[in-house]
Chain A
Amino acid sequence: MTATRASLASRDPALLPRLAITVVALLLLWPGLELAEFDPAALFDSRGLATLGSFVGSFLPPDLSPAFLRLVAEATLQTLAMATAGVFLAAVLAFPAALVASRALSISRIGPGRGYWLGEAVRLPVRWLLILLRSIPEIVWALLFVRAVGLGPAAGVLAIAINYAGMLGKVYFEIFESGDTRPARAILEAGGGRLAAFGYGIFPVALPELMSYSVYRWECAVRASVVMGFVGAGGLGQQMDLSMKMLAGGEVATILVVFFLLVLLADAVSAVLRRAVA
Chain B
Amino acid sequence: MLILQAERDALLKPLLAVTGIVERRHTLPILSNVLIEKKGGQVGFLATDLEIQITTASADELPGEDFRLTTSAKKLQDILRAIPDKATVTLEQLDGRLTLKAGKSRFNLQTLPAEDFPLLSVGSASDASFTLPQRELKRLISQVQFAMAVQDIRYYLNGLLMQTDGNQVKLIATDGHRLAFASADVEATLPKAEVILPRKTILELYKLLQDSDDEINIEVLANQVRFSFGSTVIISKVVDGKFPDYNRVIPLDNDKIFLIERLTFLHALQRAAILANEKFRGVRLVLAPGKMSILCTNSEQEEAEEELEIAYQGGELEIGFNINYLLDVLTNLPADTLQMAFGDSNRSTLVTIPDYSNFKYIVMPMRI
A binds B: no
B: residues with CB less than 8 A from A are none
